[in-house]
Structure 1
Amino acid sequence: MNIKDVAIRAGVSVTTVSRVLNNRGYIGKETRKKVEKAMEEINYSPNQIARALQKSQSYILGIIVPDSNHPFFSELIKHVEITANEHNYKVLICNSLDQLEKETKYISMLKENRVDGLIMCSHTLDVEEYKKLSFPVVTFDRIIANHFPYVAADNYRGGEIATEHLIESGCKKLLHISGPLKLDLLPNRRTDAFRLTCMKHNIDHEVIEGTQDNLTFDYFSDFIESEVSVKLTDFDGVFCSNDLVAYALYLYAAKNNIKVPEQLKIVGYDFHSFTRMLQTPKLTTIAQPVSRIGKILSTTVINMVETKELDSINNSVVDVELIKGETT
């Protein structure tokens, strides 16, 4: 059985069947149903290898993340893969663990496997290395160059909302536990917003810079114990760079008889699956729409692959919102 048999069975043209298979152009719902029903009835399965050879494509996308075990990135990967699958693409997932050597090796591996495009969520490798790549690249939360589109939540607005909420909740001295500021990443705009908002309201404030060495909950717990604990008595509100940090801080406070939110108010960032699963406490946090981010990342790189119009792809910044919980 071949594509002509499907067309005859469905009563449509071969071109229409091709459009359905490649998810290209407008196809009405009823027409799509007829084609899909015809394929099922004659047990037709499109030959992905033949399609790839015909179009000189692999129909494979790569995604490099710092750690797929982190709740945000595991959820992000899910939505990237769902959208890619809808367009008949597969996804190779690579964990860099924020190590330069691993990221470099993964880039080489993706080249060898002739991926059609790359979604870059790890930020260790120097930007010049990405500029050498021959396939389309879309980044998450990082600006590389004008012809490399990025997708991000509105980091500045997120930092502003979190800081304003703590101030409106009565906090007089604020601490921000940031990510690694030495890297030029868009999440650093959260820290910029924190500082400027505090200055605008004449609020005493300080920033403790986190590192990129580890994204595990145990690491964040140790970081709170070693780097943050000695300063907690000086502050009545903390804006954390992510929800795992916020929860680690809450547990430290509970263990050391610091009442949340009476003595210490905490705001996190992400609102991923881990946060939504928590029963006690319900964290106050800034929600990044991870499902929308994943979908945009996937569709952006696919559009770059299929249109070849690399310079016409726009950056995407999506809105964030405050989720009020029990920690403020």
Structure 2
Amino acid sequence: MPSIKDVAKKAGVSVTTVSRVLNNRGYISKETRRKVEQAMAEIDYHPNQIARALQKSQSYLLGVIVPDSNHPFFAELIKYIEIYAHEQNYKILICNSSDDPDKEAKYIAMLRENRVDGIIMCSHTLDIEEYKKVKLPIVSFDRIISEEIPYVGSDNFLGGELATEHLISRGCQRLLHISGPLELDMLPNRRADAFKLKCMQHNIPFKIVECEFNRLTFDYYRDLITHEVSKYLNDFDGIFCSNDLVAYALYVYAAQQGIKVPEQLKIVGYDFHSFTRMLQLPKLTTIKQPIDKIGKVLCSTLIKMVGGHEEDMISNTIVSVELIKGDTT
């Protein structure tokens, strides 16, 4: 089998240079990288990942636990996590918790058994103490777990402010917010805090309806609107939804009931993921989370922790959001 020395000879560079290309360490010019990669291809050289992992006590594997990889937001988030991980020579293992605590606990155990270097937690069904027991680098998405576990999220409070202010500026006089369970210590609940504060500042009557988002399908959200929200529709002229699938399900229900959007009811969503961008009728007014940036920061933060960069290890990150004007306000 060809060796790293054969690659170096074929490319006309040193063994150290080949090693730096393989490990993505230090500055390597594009031309040198091209020559090394071409030499590897020509002599059919494949680095022994297992040996490299044993040598460095690293597997170059990262675990990613999400509630549902079929949900447009998490599908897109996984895409950007994988892109950045690949750039850093890491691979990812994706686990769907289905918001089931037992399943999530088993996946954490499985990832530890497979010697992943760290875990990105996008599912949060367990008690905080359970995450502290993992003994692996962890980065959390949208939940504050502990001072030892950094988190990444969008500016949910700003998102709530932008959505509420926009509805008020469009003439809404009675506002409703559809949120997740507010007793959970989740960063997205700051959207409800901002909504409530803005309504009080403008003396706008308001209501918050808490819903269980434990199944991330359109059919589930359609039933949720029918059974949990529909009874309030005649009392409000503006609704801020905590995600775009809820907003779209609300739009469909309103159309079926003969409620004109935006003339009689104005709707704002949250996320602006691939599903939202593909919609032609209607184009939702929504709050855009920069999913690409969130994915990159989640991955880069975890890799820094794996590498032992203590000065960067505990760095919580909040990324900004913006209002995207559509046809529903």
So what's the TM-score if we normalise by structure 1? 0.97
Question: Which residue type is aligned with residue 326 of structure 1?
Answer: D
After alignment, is 18-27 or 102-111 more displaced? Answer: 18-27
Question: Which residue type is aligned with residue 206 of structure 1?
Answer: K
Secondary structure in structure 2 of the residue aligned to 1:49: helix
- Deviation for aligned residue 1:142: 0.7
Question: Which residue type is aligned with residue 195 of structure 2?
Answer: F
Q: Give the structure 2 partner of residue 179 of structure 1.
A: 180
- Deviation for aligned residue 1:140: 0.5
Gapped runs of 5+ residues in structure 1?
none
Asked if structure 2 preserves the Cα contact closer than 8 Å seen for 1:98 and 1:212, the reply is: no
Asked if structure 1 preserves the Cα contact closer than 8 Å seen for 2:304 and 2:312, the reply is: no
After alignment, is 146-155 or 232-241 more displaced? Answer: 146-155
Q: Give the structure 1 partner of residue 214 of structure 2.
A: 213
Q: State the distance in 2 between where 1:143 and 1:316 align.
A: 11
Secondary structure in structure 2 of the residue aligned to 1:202: coil
Q: State the distance in 2 between where 1:64 and 1:180 align.
A: 21
After alignment, is 237-246 or 77-86 more displaced? Answer: 77-86
Question: Which residue type is aligned with residue 48 of structure 1?
Answer: Q
Asked if structure 2 preserves the Cα contact closer than 8 Å seen for 1:147 and 1:310, the reply is: no
Q: Give the structure 1 partner of residue 288 of structure 2.
A: 287
Q: State the distance in 2 between where 1:8 and 1:306 align.
A: 31
**RMSD of equivalent CA atoms:** 1.3
Q: Give the structure 2 partner of residue 125 of structure 1.
A: 126
Asked if structure 2 preserves the Cα contact closer than 8 Å seen for 1:283 and 1:327, the reply is: yes
- Deviation for aligned residue 1:28: 2.3
Q: Give the structure 2 partner of residue 232 of structure 1.
A: 233
Asked if 1:50 is matched to 2:56, the reply is no
Q: State the distance in 2 between where 1:312 and 1:217 align.
A: 38
Q: State the distance in 2 between where 1:242 and 1:94 align.
A: 22
**Any runs of at least 4 consecutive aligned residues in structure 1 with deviations exceeding 4 A, and if so which?**
none
After alignment, is 16-25 or 157-166 more displaced? Answer: 16-25
Asked if 1:275 is matched to 2:276, the reply is yes
Q: State the distance in 2 between where 1:23 and 1:128 align.
A: 36
Residues 241-269 of structure 1 show CA distances to partners (whole Å, capped at 9, x for unaligned) of 00000000001100000000000000000
Secondary structure in structure 2 of the residue aligned to 1:63: strand
Alpha-carbon distance change, 132 to 308 in structure 1, aligned in 2, over 3 angstroms: farther
Identity level (%): 71
Q: Give the structure 2 partner of residue 9 of structure 1.
A: 10
- Deviation for aligned residue 1:310: 7.6
Q: State the distance in 1 between where 2:313 and 2:66 align.
A: 26
- Deviation for aligned residue 1:308: 5.2
Asked if structure 1 preserves the Cα contact closer than 8 Å seen for 2:301 and 2:313, the reply is: no
Secondary structure in structure 2 of the residue aligned to 1:125: coil
After alignment, is 241-250 or 103-112 more displaced? Answer: 103-112
